[in-house]
Amino acid sequence: MEERVLTQNRKARHDYFIEETYEAGIVLLGTEVKSARAGKVNLKDSYVHIENGELYLFNMHISPYEQANRFNHDPLRTRKLLMHKSEIKRLIGKVQEKGYTLIPLRLYLVRGKIKVEIALAKGKKTYDKRRTLAEKDARREIERAFKEKQKY
């Protein structure tokens, strides 16, 4: 089963603690599919919201398809996500807890179908973000020192 990542939300891992991840299908128009396959998608400020027991993805930008003339789509339209009812009910319970939110992590292609990986996440405070960056820098320094040592 080969996956091809179309886009990732890199900012999400910086701004949130990721608790759990889920795979969801997404309802797209034909021109959106063609644009997404070309990689013209942005998940940067997007989020998932639950309305009437259904999941919806807001603020995901899919650029208009260039060859589609008047039948093109609205780049920022709300898109429905497809998951099993039991999974959605479980997510509703989790999101009602204090501080949890649903965010998309990546958009990818599996066996010709476009899927979204969504995460149950908790927001980081500023000091958490600084700590994460400091740990990342420390790891990088250790790796650099190790490589220098291997040269000699």
Question: Could you tell me the pTM of the whole model?
Answer: 0.75
pLDDT at position 39: 82
66-84 pLDDT, tens digit each: 877 777 777 788 888 998 9
Rounded CA gap, 55 and 102, in Å? 10
Domains observed in the chain:
3-124 (2.40.280.10)
Confidence of residue 1 (pLDDT cuts 50, 70, 90): low
| Rounded CA separation 32/35 (Å) | 5
Count the neighbouring beta carbons within 10 Å of the beta carbon of residue 47: 18
pLDDT level of residue 152 (50, 70, 90 thresholds): low
The whole-number pLDDT of residue 84 equals 92
Residue 133: is its pLDDT beyond 70?
Answer: yes
29-38, 113-122, 123-132, range with greatest mean pLDDT: 113-122
Distance CA 103, CA 118 (A): 6
Strands 100-110 and 113-123: antiparallel
User: How much is the CA Rg of the chain, to the nearest whole Å?
Assistant: 19
Handedness of CA 119, 123, 124, 126 (dihedral sign): positive
pLDDT digits (tens, 9 = 90+) for 43-70: 888 888 888 888 898 988 888 888 777 7
| HSE-CB of 142 using CA atoms within 13 angstroms | 6
